[in-house]
Amino acid sequence: MTKSTLSQVFYGTVIHSASLKELAILKDALLVVDDGGTIIALEANVPTEKVSERLETLNASGLSLTKLKNGQFIMPGFVDTHNHAPQWLHRGQGQGLHIIEWLNQVAFHNESLFKDPNHARRVYPMVVKGMLRQGVTTASYYGSLHGEATKILADVCLEKGQRALVGKCNMARNAPDFYVDASVEESLQVTRDCIRHIKNLDPKGELLRHVLTPRFAICCDESLLEGLGEIAKENPTMAIQTHFDESEQEKNFTMSLFPQFTNEADLYEKFNLLNERSILAHCTIMTPYETQRLQDLKCGVAHCPTSNMTVGGGFMAATIKDFLNRGIKVGLGTDSGGGYSISMLNAMRHSLINSFARDFLDSRDGSAAVTMEEAFHMATIGGARVVGFGDEIGDFQIGKQFDALLVDVSDGRGGITAPLEEVDTLRTMLEKFIMTGDDRNIAQVYVRGRLVHSG
């Protein structure tokens, strides 16, 4: 290892998920990142007077050294596993409407505006900039159904340095005439065109990848699902995202359209859209059979507690603890317009609240309640595994890429975080950030070692 291959060093508190049940809270840690954004060293409990010596041993002396102050720490970037990018402007509108009415009265009209590429060029930089400000270093985006706008979203993600999955939304029926694919053939052709565009932007898929995006079976007939299944076979590493068992109204409508099936798991599996690459949003009213199928097929769940608790149709508390206990991959999503917040901190808090409701409904013995460790895991490495980036990011293992946040909960940030006290442990500092912090506490955001936001 030579000095020329190293680029930056951080010294201070480093926190990441050691496992679903355990946080690694490293005090006086040295974290070294090379000029390709790869983590090449992480050592804890290095006394201040030994820092220079250790850096020399690591051939890192003379590099840019960031010494974290009291109230600051480094943690992995957030991974948002489910976000509708075209819903940025109408977040929070239509609360109380059931999902189908909300789509028809609010979402579809606003998404249809992205037919105009200039609208996409105006809005999508706001989306990506806003997400980075919230510490979202990786996002799985639903685009609109428009090919040109979806390409623009991909362009913006790459330009601003956000790691992203981007998909053209497929929907050929059960939507207003002004917001529906012209035909199944056109829907598939535009999808293939978007795949080519994204592969040309990032041939190795290091930061940017396409994700197949059938909105849900309500908007896709059998021929469209079959066509998307064929594309999935042709691209055996490509992620697939859709809505799954989101609400009773949605599920009943789906089953009425596909009477040959008795559940959504068999439906999507039939069309080759349910496998280890699937990112299934919501999963709130699962049958035991469906849960078992997701486990067997190694699917990922995008848990969106904020929207699940705010869209009308019931307080939809997903059985997340059961998923986690089964070893099902679970990450957190903000959803965007279906809720009201794109804050992953809110998603973490609401995952706790959601689980407490589930515990009351199921057992009242605490067995269904999510822990802080599990919420942190879902927001970072858990989400990375759901979207297919688990080998590259999500924690600070040697050899992974440095997607990270520099968090500052000191008084100088001017936020509303619960103040730090001298007696506070590092664990308490983390809890105060998660439960009372906001984007004002996110001082710096890095993706693959590149500073993409500083505030």
Domains of the chain from N-terminus onward: 8-76+395-454 (2.30.40.10), 78-387 (3.20.20.140)
Say if residue 344's pLDDT is above 70.
yes
Say if residue 120's pLDDT is above 90.
yes
Say if residue 178's pLDDT is above 70.
yes
Q: What is the pLDDT of residue 314?
A: 65
Say if residue 444's pLDDT is above 70.
yes
AA identity, residue 439: D
* Dihedral angle, C-alpha 91, 93, 96, 99, nearest 10 °: -60
Share of the chain above pLDDT 70, in %: 98
Q: Could you tell me which of 374, 371, 355, 351 has the C-alpha nearest to residue 363?
A: 355
Mean pLDDT of 157-165: 98
- 229-278: per-residue pLDDT in tens? 999 999 999 999 999 999 999 999 999 999 999 999 999 999 999 999 99
Q: What is the pLDDT of residue 6?
A: 57
Say if residue 61's pLDDT is above 90.
no
Q: Could you tell me which of 89, 94, 131 has the C-alpha nearest to residue 347?
A: 131
Q: How confident is the model at residue 311 (pLDDT cuts 50, 70, 90)?
A: confident
AA identity, residue 29: A
How far is C-alpha 228 from the geometric centre of its chain's CA atoms? 23
Task: Specify whether the CB–CB gap between 94 and 106 falls below 8 A.
Answer: yes
- What mean pLDDT value characterizes the chain? 95
Q: What is the pLDDT of residue 414?
A: 86
Say if residue 293's pLDDT is above 70.
yes
Q: What is the pLDDT of residue 313?
A: 66
**Helix 117-133 / helix 147-160 crossing angle, nearest 10 deg:** 40
Q: What is the pLDDT of residue 1?
A: 31
